[in-house]
Amino acid sequence: MIRNSTDADFAAILEIVNDGAQRYKGVIPADRWHEPYMPAEELKKEIAAGVAFSVAEQDGRVVGVMGIQDKGDVTLVRHAYVATSAQRGGIGTKLLRHLEGLTHKPVLIGTWAAATWAIDFYVRNGFTVVSRAEKERLLRKYWSIPARQVETSVVLADARWQAQATA
């Protein structure tokens, strides 16, 4: 079952983010890895900044989380994580479909260039990796991340964004 999160889901969201993020260990640049990957304070700040999470539940337990953040002319997908034990079972796809149903705006996603599995996941779901120049422009415009992370990230865009960019 997929549903929008409530305040009561905070601890479960934090747990799933930090469990799912274990996949990054040894893969993303070592200077960007830290544990926990997302401290509670950072998650609070993200929610305060407008990241609205949806959660996937199985047998009454949260097993996946994914957020959207409205940025005016676009919507960002932020913090997509499925519990390690539940990955590759279709939960991420269901969460993404749910989020896409919550917005009519073009959707952008940023992830680690080294997270090839995540890039595959989004490409399978209709997203396209944007050019390097476009990535740099988009990350500076819509995200607040350090310069080093711009270098080591990619941005993927949905069909709506692509159509608008080529119009």
Ligand X SMILES: CC(C)(COP(=O)(O)OP(=O)(O)OC[C@H]1O[C@@H](n2cnc3c(N)ncnc32)[C@H](O)[C@@H]1OP(=O)(O)O)[C@@H](O)C(=O)NCCC(=O)NCCS
The CB-nearest residue to ligand X is: 92
Let me know: does 52 contact 4? Beta carbons within 8 Å: yes
Q: Please give the DSSP secondary-structure letter assigned to residue 1.
A: -
Nearer residue to ligand X within complex by CB, 53 or 81: 81
Task: Name the maximum alpha-carbon separation found in the chain.
Answer: 45
Q: Please give the DSSP secondary-structure letter assigned to residue 83.
A: -
Q: Which residues bind ligand X (CB under 6 A)?
A: 20-21, 23, 80-82, 87-93, 111, 115, 117-118, 120-121, 124
Nearer residue to ligand X within complex by CB, 34 or 167: 34
Task: List all residues 6 or more positions away from 76 whose beta carbon is below 8 Å from its beta carbon.
Answer: 68, 69, 107, 108, 109, 110, 142, 143
Cβ 19 to ligand X shortest distance, Å: 9
Cβ atoms within 10 Å of 137's Cβ, excluding its own: 13
Nearer residue to ligand X within complex by CB, 88 or 166: 88
Cβ 124 to ligand X shortest distance, Å: 5
Cβ 131 to ligand X shortest distance, Å: 19
Q: What is the dihedral of CA 106, 14, 46, 145, to 10 degrees?
A: -80
Cβ 118 to ligand X shortest distance, Å: 4
Residues 26 and 3: their CA atoms lie apart, in Å, by 32
Nearer residue to ligand X within complex by CB, 5 or 167: 5
Cβ 99 to ligand X shortest distance, Å: 12
Which of left, alpha, beta for 75 (phi over 0: left; psi -120 to 50: alpha)? beta
Nearer residue to ligand X within complex by CB, 95 or 105: 95
